[in-house]
Structure 1
Amino acid sequence: METAKAYRGDLASWKRYLEAQLGSVVRVQDLTGPVIKAALAEMNNAELAPATRRRLVTTLRGLCRYLVLESRLPVDPMAAIQAPRTPSRLPVAFTDGQISALLAAAQAEDPKARPAAPLLDVVIVLILAAGGLRASEAAGLRLLDYRPGDEPSLRVLGKGRKARTVPLDPGVAAQIDIYLAWRAEHAAGDADTTPLLIRPDGRALTRDTISYRINRLYARAGIVKPDGEAAHALRHTYAVSMVDVGVPISEVQQLLGHESIATTGIYLKASAAHLRAASAAPSAARLLTGQ
């Protein structure tokens, strides 16, 4: 469902950019190399992120390939168009101090929220930062997916509808238990299949709502939002912390729900950079450099 929604959003973006070049409603026969390249140039002028432009190109490439197979286009106009290269960068991981500040902000009522829901905000931060979930995965959690007890965990439905089990720290589980009492007062129902995370009005949280609440917490905690999706930096923090404490990369892959271990491998580099930065913190290191 999320993939289809993202695909429709990309095509809507292409429609706007192509129609800006054509000055009229775009038709299948208007999908030519020159028109597409002009739209791409406009995307560059709009300063869309390279990763966003790369995704848009991939979406249109798939559509054009389909139209050629259906004999609705004589040739593939995307054949000679290269996707923008995404610059290589390490994932951003927050420090312990930043996570503490974020939790402190979550625990305090947001003066601009009507109504405020600090118990919900705390659980959102913990599920993302101490469970490593994507925002879409957190939004998709059901009551039955939370498993309390001596070994608390979350059953997570990830990409490709693949399920995985994420163990939870007892302290995180205790916060979820406190939240559940609040949830019982605000939920329309308590069936096992109803959403775990709900708004104060009883409606389910969406990925966009989670991102909005995380962005508000960043601002209130004085944390500069990293590039990319707001909530994803907390997932990065979880992954880097797992590598920092020596969890094998294959196990980190399973915890994150990555299809390929190569995707998880970037956290090895991020962890090394994280540890190098930490090693510069002790006073002895500053004394050695004369600072």
Structure 2
Amino acid sequence: MHVAGAPSGDAIATRSAITRAGPGRGVSHGLERADPRRGAPRPRPVPDGGTTAPPAARAAFASFLGALRARNAPEGTVREYQRHVAEFLAFLDGHGVSWLAPDRGTLRAHLARLAERDLSASTVGGSLSAVRSFYRYAARQGWIAANPLLGVRRPRRPARLPRVLSLDEARQLVEAPTRFPAGQQDLLLRDAALLEMLYATGMRISELAGLTIDRVDLERRRLRVVGKGSKERELLFGRPAAGALARYLRRRPALAVGRARSARLFLNAGGGPLTARGARMIVDRWVRYSGVPAGTSPHTLRHSFATHLLEGGADLRSVQHLLGHANLATTQVYTHLSDATLRSAYRAAHPRSGRARAAGRSG
């Protein structure tokens, strides 16, 4: 993608000192053509193997860094761009790709390599920004016809597995309101029922906030929720959740005194419908009080619900229905079997696991 007549490395190095761009323009935008009356910026050492790049690339790189400094870019930003662009130039050189003709696939491969090193998303994004900025500058200088890397997005990082509460931690959280020494009894009973229902059913916090009394069958321990896409599904809950809900329902009228009657199951302290945001705040408060790991959220309870079901022997299709997922692959992301469970399943089922072999000999 080299423009006919593009300058050689020596020409780039001797012609480029960058005039300041107009006020208010970003570091990576508005870089003007060099003023031939000024000398070129002195090349600085290029870190991370960038010195292996051809002389023309090194000269263009030095010119780019000089342009950043001429724009009064913070030195930390200049060093960061220097490191990122040097890494990319070294990557090109190592793969036999001309610095004048990288394509989007080359940049994506470089970013994927960074992601594989488990660098943070901000580091990978910083590399993308720096490299695109360098080639934007090269295009404005006329060294290449156009920036070949426009439109490249940072690669998706593998989804990190969210934390799942242990059985003891889940019990510690949902039972926390019952151990609270003092407080408004109506609200404590509400909070106990709310936590029990979240963990017992795995419902989304928005589904819980929208739940109405008429959709709960306390005797049969079932309820109906409207999930994503306005799809309705039936959920089950056990005796502990049923008991907590019954105790709350007996005291619920006290919360609604002086307010118009609401069909919503859970009410706020003023007697109005509890919002999803209000429900999250309740969970946050009991997370802090109970001592379970910081960052535990309603979604953590949902993940824990699914994982504990699988560890207890439930099949994936059943868990998919209870979570309200249209796609089984989505359910698999929500379920994280413990190492102990996986080891136990392997040893019990695989013919060469050791335990299975020993059992075969004993028979």
Q: Could you say what secondary structure the match of 1:130 adopts? A: helix
Q: Does 1:265 align with 2:335?
A: no
Cα drift, residue 131 of structure 1:
0.7
Q: Which has the larger radius of gyration?
A: 2
Q: Is the 8 A contact 1:158 1:257 kept in 2?
A: yes
Equivalent in the alignment of 1:85 = 156
Cα drift, residue 83 of structure 1:
5.7
Equivalent in the alignment of 1:140 = 210
List aligned pairs for 1:66-215, cutoff 5 A: 80=151, 82=153, 85-109=156-180, 117-149=187-219, 151-187=220-256, 188=259, 194-215=263-284
1:164-209 per-residue CA deviation (whole Å, 9 max, x = no partner) reads 0001113311211111011122223556xx1101112211111111
Q: Could you say what secondary structure the match of 2:201 adopts? A: coil
Equivalent in the alignment of 1:253 = 320
Q: Could you say what secondary structure the match of 1:265 adopts? A: helix
Structure 1, unpaired ranges of 5+: 1-21, 24-33, 36-40, 42-48, 51-78, 280-291
Equivalent in the alignment of 2:9 = none
Q: Number of residue pairs matched?
A: 205
CA distance in 2, matches of 1:202, 1:84: 47
CA distance in 2, matches of 1:277, 1:218: 31
CA distance in 2, matches of 1:176, 1:114: 17
Cα drift, residue 92 of structure 1:
1.8
Q: Could you say what secondary structure the match of 2:224 adopts? A: strand
Q: Which structure is higher in RCO with an 8 Å CA cutoff and minimum separation 6?
A: 1
Q: Could you say what secondary structure the match of 2:293 adopts? A: coil
CA distance in 2, matches of 1:244, 1:224: 21
CA distance in 1, matches of 2:343, 2:238: 26
What TM-score do you get using the length of structure 2 for normalisation? Answer: 0.50
CA distance in 2, matches of 1:274, 1:199: 41
Distance 1:115 1:127, change over 3 A: closer
CA distance in 2, matches of 1:257, 1:274: 27
Q: Is the 8 A contact 1:109 1:117 kept in 2?
A: no
Q: Is the 8 A contact 2:186 2:254 kept in 1?
A: no
Q: Is the 8 A contact 1:136 1:207 kept in 2?
A: yes
Q: Does 1:275 align with 2:341?
A: yes
Cα drift, residue 110 of structure 1:
7.8
1:84-107 per-residue CA deviation (whole Å, 9 max, x = no partner) reads 624422232211221222133222
What TM-score do you get using the length of structure 1 for normalisation? Answer: 0.61
CA distance in 2, matches of 1:123, 1:81: 48
CA distance in 2, matches of 1:180, 1:171: 14
RMSD: 3.4
Cα drift, residue 267 of structure 1:
4.3
Q: Is the 8 A contact 2:209 2:266 kept in 1?
A: yes
Distance 1:147 1:108, change over 3 A: same
CA distance in 2, matches of 1:110, 1:204: 26
1:16-58 per-residue CA deviation (whole Å, 9 max, x = no partner) reads xxxxxx98xxxxxxxxxx79xxxxx9xxxxxxx96xxxxxxxx
CA distance in 1, matches of 2:152, 2:319: 36
1:203-228 per-residue CA deviation (whole Å, 9 max, x = no partner) reads 1111111111111111111122337x
> Kindly, what percent of the aligned residue pairs are identical?
27
Distance 1:170 1:205, change over 3 A: same
